[in-house]
Homo-oligomer: A and B are copies of this chain.
Amino acid sequence: MDFASDNAVGASRPVLDALLAANAGPAPAYGADSWTKAAETRLSEVFETPVAAFLVATGTASNALALGAVCPPWGAVFCHEDAHVIDDECGAPEMATGGAKLVGVAGEGGKLTPDGLAQTLARFPHGLVKQVQAAAISLSQATECGTVYTPAEIAALAAIARAHRCRVHMDGARFANALVHLGCSPAGMTWKAGVDVLSFGLTKNGALACEAVIFFDPALAEAFPYQRKRAGHTLSKGRLLGAQLCAMLDGDHWLANARHANAMAHRLRKGLLAAGARAPWPSEVNEVFAILPRRADAALKAAGSRYYDWGARNLPQHERPGADEVYIRLVASYATTPEEVDRFSAIVRAA
């Protein structure tokens, strides 16, 4: 019953098999191998447009380098105030941009709203020299609350961004989970809605260490090979990344993994609600945010469960945990089993 994170499990079997297969024999280094080239081609197919794609090993690298490609040192990136890029990456976007500013914007359920974004952007008029210049917005799809932007919501935010000369970045650490929830196409959730550059996450979804920075306007990527290299993110045995990406896309393995993880989270949320717990947000992807009695928390931990206490700061006032309650985050993965889920809910019910 490990619900700590979707990065607590290893790679799925097809990913491992692909790694083993790709390992044999010599191959050109630094991403000139056939797996990496195939991965780039495949991504253009999946996204229905020619993309410039660059594989890296971590989500933080993917986000930071993507922002570094669209925001100058004197620029600002606007994101939700709880976004991973602003709160959980130890300043990586600041490093990759050469010192840009990340500006947090409030919004319920982890989501930027058009009004919130527009009001914040209005405080950064273009050309006002004493201020950093609005350069990009960053949307987390799914968000830190496990919620999902619809393509229409993305398009509305992207339109505001564009009116303020901002590029649109999407942090897609849980891209597949959001995609299968919405049932739309990768293109529909990205460039068709105004996204310029995507951090396409696979590690949480069954890869071992594989993310892609995907530019829908290849002109934005002109300097990216150098930006990635000087950040130390160009793997010498690049097939490690290429093989993972191919394996994830093959036979829509990435979508199947995401569907399973989402389903497990929904099952878990349903079980917890039935057991009397509260859950402030809908479980649109593979995460459940829940408020449990402390005694249930104790029973779960006694049974060896792993999960994180979560900061209640941004819960609406009426949803906040009471003195005898805890607020936790639970994450399901491609490997989560219905049995684990049901056992977890049963412990809550019993406690």
**Closest B residue, CB atoms, query A102:** B101
Chain B residues positioned under 8 Å from A229 (CB to CB): 60, 74, 89-90, 92, 129-130
Bitwise, A257-279 to B at CB < 8 A (1) or not (0) is 00000000000000000000000
Give Cα A32–Cα B62 distance, bound, in whole angstroms: 22
Tally chain A residues at the interface, Cβ within 8 Å.
75
Least Cβ–Cβ distance between A138 and chain B, in angstroms? 15
The answer to whether B131 and A236 touch across the interface, beta carbons within 8 angstroms, is: no
Bitwise, A83-116 to B at CB < 8 A (1) or not (0) is 0000111111011111111100000000000000
Q: Besides A4-B26, A74-B227, A101-B102, 20 other CB < 8 A contacts? A: A7-B236, A10-B23, A23-B208, A30-B130, A72-B223, A72-B226, A73-B91, A73-B95, A88-B131, A90-B129, A90-B132, A90-B229, A91-B100, A94-B101, A95-B95, A96-B232, A123-B311, A203-B237, A231-B231, A232-B233
A interface list, Cβ under 8 A from B = 2, 4-5, 7-11, 16, 19-20, 22-30, 56-62, 64-65, 72-74, 87-92, 94-102, 123, 129-133, 203-204, 208-209, 223, 225-227, 229-237, 239-240, 306, 311, 313
